[in-house]
Amino acid sequence: MLQWLKHYRRDQLPGDISAGLVVTMMMIPQGVAYAVVAGLSPVVGLYASILPPIVYALFGSSMTQSVGPMAIVSLMTAAVIGPLAPPGSALAGVLAAQLALVSGAVLLLCGLLRMGFLANFFSRPVMSGFTVGSAIVIAYDQLHTLLGAALPHVHMPSAVLGVGTVLLLVLSRQYLAGLLKRCGLPPAVADIGAKLAPMVVVLGGIVLMATTGLAEMGVRTTGAIPAGLPHLNLATSSQHWRALLQPGLLIGFIVFLMSMSGAQALALKRNEKLVSNHELIGLGAANVASALSGGFPVTGSLSRSAVNFAAGANTPLASLITAGLLACALLAPTGWLALLPMPVLAATIIVAVLGMLELGILRTAWEYDRGDALAWGATCLGVLVMGVEAGVMVGVALSMGTLIWRASRPHIAVLGRIAGTEHFRNIERYPAETQPELLALRIDANLFFGNMDAVTERIECELATHQSARDLLLVMSAVNSIDTTALLALAELNQSLKRRGVGLHLAEVKGPVMDRLRNSTLLQQLNGKLFLSTANAFDQLHIAKDVA
Amino acid sequence: MLQWLKHYRRDQLPGDISAGLVVTMMMIPQGVAYAVVAGLSPVVGLYASILPPIVYALFGSSMTQSVGPMAIVSLMTAAVIGPLAPPGSALAGVLAAQLALVSGAVLLLCGLLRMGFLANFFSRPVMSGFTVGSAIVIAYDQLHTLLGAALPHVHMPSAVLGVGTVLLLVLSRQYLAGLLKRCGLPPAVADIGAKLAPMVVVLGGIVLMATTGLAEMGVRTTGAIPAGLPHLNLATSSQHWRALLQPGLLIGFIVFLMSMSGAQALALKRNEKLVSNHELIGLGAANVASALSGGFPVTGSLSRSAVNFAAGANTPLASLITAGLLACALLAPTGWLALLPMPVLAATIIVAVLGMLELGILRTAWEYDRGDALAWGATCLGVLVMGVEAGVMVGVALSMGTLIWRASRPHIAVLGRIAGTEHFRNIERYPAETQPELLALRIDANLFFGNMDAVTERIECELATHQSARDLLLVMSAVNSIDTTALLALAELNQSLKRRGVGLHLAEVKGPVMDRLRNSTLLQQLNGKLFLSTANAFDQLHIAKDVA
């Protein structure tokens, strides 16, 4: 925390200032647009862009992450508060802030409990399917705003303005950077300049509305935006807290996953180390700050963070500068923002989310692993057909299923001795010698509830094919832990083998595992012996049989 | 399916008949009682005991499982339909049947998709904590019926009858089997006879009501039970289907887990093999059958199945006999059941669930692994404080958390050469020689989304401590699969290493893994070589450096 401030070097300042300026120019149209996606008053998007990045700068671990409103999280917010309050209403604003508070509290709690490992929850295909599905939903939801009327109707002036803006933005995304370069701008500056196209069209739209008769022709605008800084706004609707609890949990989860996946991509380029537990704290604090300043759930945005990085951000000071500039913008007269035409705003949203329609991962998965491609499709379809919340649940179910499926397939090898040596190997892969009275199995997995059924099943199966075995030796060299469920199952196996007159022996039990087992009933009642090495076990069990 | 019928031997018949009779005597009080727990008319419990065991006999894989009403599943049913319909109403009955249909469909679908591996979802401590919490909730819910009034009030005649029955049942559980043995009954018969105490007290209660003035004193009875077989009863309340979808999924999940854990315990004693995918189909079909015959969600009950087994059941014919006898009981006059006093029924429920208060697993976990004991406590507390549905969710969250946490801790060893040999070992455990320019890591886990972050983090960490390394060798001898996420992460690692001038080499890649990798961009762009053996890699990379 604030390590970067202690070691701040003066030569980092120019980069931070330029990045702060550039991101402010991106943040204004994005904040307003994503507040609209969330079904909130546009100004809420600006509120959510001031305090959260400041707080993240204090607690987060990424140097270039730009925390604020983000399309998918806004879509999830809309899905939660939509049924509870009319869009744009004061109640909707309060509920959105409450939702941010719940999400923030969940994230903080997870951070304090050091649950950063949850960042590994979604596979990339699931994450990508979820993103693409959400992008399509967001774009589709904006269609009627873009066209000024619900399909199949079209309000011509709005539609011309909206579709024209979409074309302009798409063309500028394709060609503007090249054009600026040919005009003599340095490549880096040209690339960043092209990212400011949304701000330019927003300003252009405002000028159009102010100077032409579009308003009289029925083109809708955002309407008056209250000036001044946000204020605390949580004290109502106590009956809604309960309804927000589960969605808040889901949104917190997605806030974390979205932010981590973006931040990791950037951290790799910077060779910077991201600490997932710090990220949980940083994002949690940012969401609580958003709630306390009348905002809504926020997260790190890959698109903004990438621009922040490209524009030269060296430290979170860039984000602090952005926050300061946005606060100034709210303190200045905001009357001009009232003229922003909705079709232009819809166009910026649509073009922004079209950029999220990245099918590269689907293509890779399709070629490499059809199962992963299926997971991509199921998650995307889940979002499209059942909505964004159900889509998350589909992703969770797929992840859980994959985890338990993988856990339930432990690797177990039948061991034999490489003739004349002290080495023991998998008999399927090496010409190793076995003894008919002794079945030796090496278990290549930690034993726990997720694989213990599979392990006992495999043991029974091997015993059935080795009918002559009077001793079962489990080689535990690769077992780093045994949980309570596995302990109980091993104790049952021991009893069952005892009844059948088969000895159960353990070899190469690791130190930490042994420390735990020492006082357990399993070892006290073990129907066999403990051996330090597999070779010892083979020799001694063999001799025992010879004598017998 | 029906394998047992094809190989039926006449000497199996006496055992099946006696078990069928005994279980019928258990099923009548249990069916009525658990229907009351579910907030349904008592007769529904009998309906749910006829068709489901017949259908399970056709599709299930356990020979002795007794499928029918079960306390915890009834509690979950009550939690779902309670808020939607008044207890005992016709609507409640329809909703319960719909719930069984949804659960059954979910189970059938999971069975067809071969998702039996989900049986490994809960650890035993989580399962035990869930069971104990549910038992306490059920017992507490029955207190006011037992005492004839809500606490702190007590209806004395009801309370005397109820508490007296509890004492009688507790004493008979403790001493009846011993008493019967001393009366000269064979031990096995005495044990089974003692299990019929609930039926005896139910009959005793009916006789008491018929012959004394208890009814006039205000002791409530179950009331008239319609005679005749159940009939199809699903065609109403289409608006409720949606509300039943998620709870039906949860109940299906618990039906499977409860049935499997009970059946596995018995299968171990019988040396019988349980096929989890067949169990899904059997339980799914049983629940659909329950829905179609006006019942409610059913599952395998460990207590009944154990008696079934102990009473001599050899095949599912025993369950068919039970079903036939119950059908006869419904076709005969059922007026006598109307006199069954509710406090006696409550007493049988309370004593039955008190038997589920098994703390042995908690004790084992407490001594062996405090984390597992904590999971026990969290699940139990979740059920007690937030209800049975939330309790399941706590269990699911704990399981998911544990799975992903375990996955995120893969074992990785730095390898060195045992001097003068072709053997390579973990340098932490063996005196093995390393080369400063070469860092060799053996990855002892399949690579997938759950551990790839941890793997790359560990690699970066090792590279940071081996600054002189110009080549990174990943020994893949223990990697049986690489999913799309891991493939993408490896490709990024490859690019990152290339930028830093470090080679990335792979050794001992297994056949199936290689087949997949062959056409991937990772191999095409690999900044290094593939080696068949670690020894080859050490030799060649060493020589390359010498020449350079």
* pLDDT tens-place string over residues A333-369: 777 778 888 898 889 888 888 888 889 999 999 989 8
For A125, the closest of B373, B451, B484 (CB atoms) is B484
Token pair, residue B207, equals: 């006789």
Taking CA atoms, B163 is separated from B140, B143, B170, B172, B344, in Å, by: 14, 10, 10, 14, 8
Please, are residues B432 and B416 in contact by the beta-carbon 8 Å criterion? yes
Contact residues on chain B for A125, CB-CB shorter than 8 A: 484-485
- What is the dotted CATH code of the domain comprising A412-547? 3.30.750.24
Mark the ranges of chain A whose per-residue pLDDT is less than 70.
1-2, 231-238, 271, 543-548
| ipTM, two decimals | 0.82
For A123, the closest of B123, B396, B449 (CB atoms) is B449
Return the bridge partners of B503, or none. Answer: B471
Average pLDDT of span B269-297: 88
Given pLDDT bands bounded at 50, 70 and 90, which one contains residue B226? confident
Q: How far apart are CA A60 and CA A285, in angstroms?
A: 9
Please, are residues A199 and A171 in contact by the beta-carbon 8 Å criterion? no
Per-residue pLDDT reduced to its tens digit, B69-123: 999 999 999 999 988 888 888 888 889 999 999 999 999 999 998 888 888 888 8
Q: How far apart are CA B541 and CA B469, in angstroms?
A: 11
Whether residue B120 and residue A450 make contact (CB cut-off 8 A), yes or no, is yes
Taking CA atoms, B457 is separated from A280, A374, B500, B505, B516, in Å, by: 18, 28, 16, 18, 24
Per-residue pLDDT reduced to its tens digit, B418-428: 888 878 888 88
Give the angle subtended at the CA of B267 by the CAs of B264 and B271, to the nearest 5°: 140
Whether residue A403 and residue B401 make contact (CB cut-off 8 A), yes or no, is no
Kindly tell me if the per-residue pLDDT of B1 is higher than 60: no
Token pair, residue A203, equals: 């300003």
Phi, psi of B168 (to 5 degrees): -60, -45
Considering only CA atoms, which of B501, B56, B421, B99 is closest in space to residue B263? B56
Q: How far apart are CA B385 and CA A121, in angstroms?
A: 28
Q: What part of B 451-480 touches A (C-beta under 8 Å)?
A: 451-454, 460, 478, 480
Taking CA atoms, A452 is separated from A447, B124, B457, in Å, by: 6, 11, 29
Q: What part of B 425-444 touches A (C-beta under 8 Å)?
A: 444
Helix axes B342-354, B124-147, angle to 10 degrees: 160
Phi, psi of A433 (to 5 degrees): -95, 135
Kindly tell me if the per-residue pLDDT of B529 is higher than 80: yes
Phi, psi of A332 (to 5 degrees): -70, 170
Do the bridges between strand B67-68 and strand B299-300 make them parallel or antiparallel, or are there none, so unpaired? Answer: antiparallel
Q: How far apart are CA B456 and CA B449, in angstroms?
A: 11
A–B: how many Cβ contacts below 8 A? 146
CA-based nearest distance B462→chain A, Å: 14
Q: Is the dihedral of CA A353, A354, A360, A365 positive or negative?
A: positive
Whether residue A444 and residue B446 make contact (CB cut-off 8 A), yes or no, is no
Half-sphere exposure of A229 (CA within 13 A, CB side): 12
CA-based nearest distance A323→chain B, Å: 32
Contact residues on chain B for A118, CB-CB shorter than 8 A: 401, 404
Contact residues on chain B for A120, CB-CB shorter than 8 A: 404, 407-408, 449-454
* Highest mean pLDDT, choosing among A88-92, B3-7, B72-76, B433-437: B72-76
A400 interfacial to chain B (CB closer than 8 Å): yes
Residue A464 one-letter amino acid: A
Considering only CA atoms, which of A185, A202, A157 is closest in space to residue A28? A202
Q: What pLDDT was estimated at residue B539?
A: 87
Domain range summary for chain B, segments of one domain joined by +? 3-404, 412-547
Contact residues on chain B for A480, CB-CB shorter than 8 A: 411
For A484, the closest of B125, B406, B485 (CB atoms) is B125
Core vs surface per residue B465-494: b (16+ CB within 10 A) or e: ebeebbbbbbbbbbbbebbbbbbbbbbbbb
* Highest mean pLDDT, choosing among B233-237, B415-419, B504-508: B504-508
Residue B173 one-letter amino acid: R
Contact residues on chain A for B120, CB-CB shorter than 8 A: 404, 407-408, 449-454
Per-position DSSP letters for B84-150, written without gaps between them = TS-TT-HHHHHHHHHHHHHHHHHHHHHHHTT-GGGGGSS-HHHHHHHHHHHHHHHHHHHHHHHHTS-
Please, are residues B123 and A483 in contact by the beta-carbon 8 Å criterion? yes
Please, are residues B191 and B201 in contact by the beta-carbon 8 Å criterion? no
Q: What pLDDT was estimated at residue A543?
A: 60
List, in order, residues 6 or more apart from A207 with CB less than 8 Å away.
none
Contact residues on chain A for B519, CB-CB shorter than 8 A: 367
Whether residue B121 and residue A364 make contact (CB cut-off 8 A), yes or no, is no
Residue B516 gets the label, from left (phi > 0), alpha (psi -120 to 50) or beta, of alpha
Q: How far apart are CA A137 and CA B40, in angstroms?
A: 42
Give, rounded to a whole angstrom, the gap between the first and last alpha carbons of chain A: 69
Please, are residues B473 and B541 in contact by the beta-carbon 8 Å criterion? yes
A484 interfacial to chain B (CB closer than 8 Å): yes
Do the bridges between strand A530-531 and strand B67-68 make them parallel or antiparallel, or are there none, so unpaired? Answer: unpaired
Whether residue B364 and residue A519 make contact (CB cut-off 8 A), yes or no, is no
Return the bridge partners of B471, or none. Answer: B438, B503
Mutate: best of B422, B485, B488, B513, partner A, most A CBs <10 A: B485
For B453, the closest of A120, A399, A520 (CB atoms) is A120
Q: What pLDDT was estimated at residue B548?
A: 45
Q: What pLDDT was estimated at residue B325?
A: 92
Q: Which chain B residue has the Cα nearest residue A456?
A: B268
Considering only CA atoms, which of A244, A156, A169, A159 is closest in space to residue A201? A169
Q: What is the mean pLDDT of chain B?
A: 87
Q: Which chain A residue has the Cα nearest residue B360?
A: A488
Mutate: best of A114, A398, A399, A406, partner B, most B CBs <10 A: A406
Q: What pLDDT was estimated at residue B280?
A: 93
For B368, the closest of A480, A487, A496 (CB atoms) is A487
Considering only CA atoms, which of A424, A401, A432 is closest in space to residue A473? A424
Q: How far apart are CA A224 and CA A339, in angstroms?
A: 8
Please, are residues B252 and B121 in contact by the beta-carbon 8 Å criterion? no
Q: What part of A 141-200 touches B (C-beta under 8 Å)?
A: none
Say what percent of chain B tops pLDDT 70: 97
Do the bridges between strand A503-507 and strand A530-531 make them parallel or antiparallel, or are there none, so unpaired? Answer: parallel
Q: Is the dihedral of CA B94, B95, B96, B100 positive or negative?
A: positive
Residues making up chain A, counted from first to last: 548
Instruction: Reduce the DSSP state of residue B338 to 3 states and report it.
Output: helix
Please, are residues A78 and A37 in contact by the beta-carbon 8 Å criterion? yes
Neighbour order of strands in the sheet with B530-531? B424-426, B412-417, B438-443, B471-475, B503-507, B530-531
Per-residue pLDDT reduced to its tens digit, A84-99: 888 888 888 889 999 9
Considering only CA atoms, which of B257, B256, B262, B249 is closest in space to residue B280? B256
Q: For every residue of A68-113, which 3-state class applies, written as one string?
A: ECCHHHHHHHHHHHCCCCCCCCHHHHHHHHHHHHHHHHHHHHHHHC
CA-based nearest distance B91→chain A, Å: 26
Residue labelled with tokens 């079909």: B285
Q: Which chain A residue has the Cα nearest residue B517?
A: A368
Taking CA atoms, B319 is separated from B56, B307, B313, B425, B467, in Å, by: 9, 12, 8, 57, 70
Q: What pLDDT was estimated at residue A548?
A: 46
Q: Taking the mean position of all CA atoms in its chain, how far away is CA B395?
A: 11
B400 interfacial to chain A (CB closer than 8 Å): yes
Q: What part of B 75-134 touches A (C-beta under 8 Å)?
A: 115, 117-125
Mutate: best of A484, A500, A519, partner B, most B CBs <10 A: A484
